[in-house]
Amino acid sequence: MRVLGIDCGMERTGYGVIDSDGRRHVIVAAGTIRTNTRHSIATRLGVIAAGLREVIAVHHPEAAAVEEVFHAVNTKSALKLAHVRGAAMLVLAESSLDCGEYSALLIKQSVVGHGRAEKQQVQYMIRSLLGKGAPLKEPDACDALAVAICHATVKARAVA
């Protein structure tokens, strides 16, 4: 199964595409969609949506996943994140892709083995699972790959 994982962010939205049978994962593509902080939120959401549409058109994922909204102390940041998630989910719906939503705890558990893993541990496991092509220098892309791996793992368990 080809899975698109998305790490939503207003400044940087990470994406990662993998091919997976639920146990073995192969990286297809990963990167970051960047927006200009001086532009309006509407313009920035348009840039993110266009970038995700391009990723979908080029890589043809069969499924997609995003991280659930977490409870943040900073309400303004949480609202911006929710806007980006909404734009991402709209693009996925337009493309007729089912969208899995996972907590940060479950994503870390799927990749590292426990839900309280540090960012460096997740990056290490992404490198371990996907090999040297994993974009460790791009934390948003790395996080998006973790979301994709989580989705593939959860779906494989549901079938087994």
Q: Which of 11, 67, 118, 138 is catalytic?
A: 67
- Any catalytic annotation for residue 140? yes
Q: Which of 11, 54, 140, 143 is catalytic?
A: 140
Give CATH superfamily name and number for 2-159.
Ribonuclease H-like superfamily/Ribonuclease H (3.30.420.10)
- Any catalytic annotation for residue 7? yes
Q: How far is CA 153 from CA 113, 131, 157, in A?
A: 12, 18, 6
- What is the pLDDT at residue 135? 67
User: In sequence order, what are the beta bridge partners of 19?
Assistant: 2, 26
Q: What is the pTM of this model?
A: 0.94
- What is the pLDDT at residue 71? 61
- What is the pLDDT at residue 88? 98
- What is the pLDDT at residue 29? 95
Cβ atoms 152, 1 nearer than 8 A: yes
- What is the pLDDT at residue 73? 67
Would you give the distance in Å from CA 82 to the centre of its chain?
14
Q: What is the mean pLDDT of each run of 10 residues along the chain (160 residues)?
A: 96 97 93 97 98 98 91 78 95 96 94 87 90 78 95 85
